[in-house]
């Protein structure tokens, strides 16, 4: 998707310039060759994080025959009998995050079917979701204290990447919010 490169560049710049992220702590995996490269980079960062671990994925989200969310890489083969071997299962991402010593964990998924991540690092069944849910965009407190999952779509929805635009639809709105703020909102916004 052509919008991914611009999204990663612009969001990374905003995280450093507007959100106070130390540039040496910004790790970008652009167009990973295979799920192992993406997964091992995530595992390394999750192990090292002490304060905030911010994970942002923008790309293709795919669903396995068993209903699990998978994050695509350059190597991904969409055929159902190959998907679990050629894409990064979100269940593996979840395991990395649950074992991280980070005080706060934020996961932002901008991909089709990203709402399937709600409930895996999202709230436990029956927990109050503060008006969110699995339909549409959601920022949910996770079962892990200090962890949030923000998704661009519900579990059965496709994400939008308008042709010719520098960003995906969801990431474009997030980037605009970070650049321009929201005039009707309070001075500080939380994920909740």
In this prediction, residue 146 carries a pLDDT of 75
Does residue 66 lie in a domain region?
Answer: yes
pTM of the model: 0.85
Q: What is the pLDDT of residues 31-50, one digit of tens each?
A: 899 999 999 999 999 999 99
Count other C-beta atoms under 10 Å from residue 164's C-beta.
Answer: 6
In a domain, 146, yes or no: yes
Range of the domain at 48: 3-179
Residue 83 lies inside a defined structural domain of this protein = yes
Specify if 187 maps to a domain.
no
| 149 falls within a domain | yes
> What Cα–Cα distance (Å) separates residue 46 from each residue in 34, 39, 117, 119?
19, 10, 18, 20
Joined together, the tokens standing for residue 79 give 């055929």
pLDDT at 106 over 90: yes
Residue 66 region by backbone torsions, left for phi larger than 0, else alpha for psi between -120 and 50, else beta? alpha
The overall average pLDDT reported for the chain is 86
The pLDDT, as a whole number, for residue 127 is: 39
Overall domain count for the chain = 1
């Amino acid at each position: 998707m052509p919008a991914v490169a611009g999204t990663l560049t612009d969001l990374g710049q905003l995280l450093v310039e507007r959100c106070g992220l130390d540039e040496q702590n910004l790790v970008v995996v652009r167009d990973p060759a295979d799920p192992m490269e993406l997964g091992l980079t995530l595992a390394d960062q999750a192990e090292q994080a002490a304060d905030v671990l911010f994970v942002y994925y923008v790309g293709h989200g795919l669903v396995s025959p068993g209903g699990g969310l998978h994050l695509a890489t350059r190597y991904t083969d969409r055929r159902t009998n190959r998907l679990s071997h050629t894409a990064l299962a979100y269940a593996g991402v979840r395991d990395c995050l649950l074992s991280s010593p980070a005080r706060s964990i934020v996961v932002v998924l901008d991909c089709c079917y990203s709402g399937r991540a709600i409930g895996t690092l999202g709230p436990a069944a029956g927990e109050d979701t503060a008006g969110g849910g699995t339909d549409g965009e959601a920022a949910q407190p996770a079962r892990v204290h200090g962890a949030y999952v923000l998704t661009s779509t519900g579990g059965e929805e496709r994400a939008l990447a308008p042709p010719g635009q520098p960003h995906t639809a969801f990431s474009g709105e997030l980037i605009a919010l970070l650049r321009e703020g929201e005039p009707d909102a309070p001075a500080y916004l939380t994920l909740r």
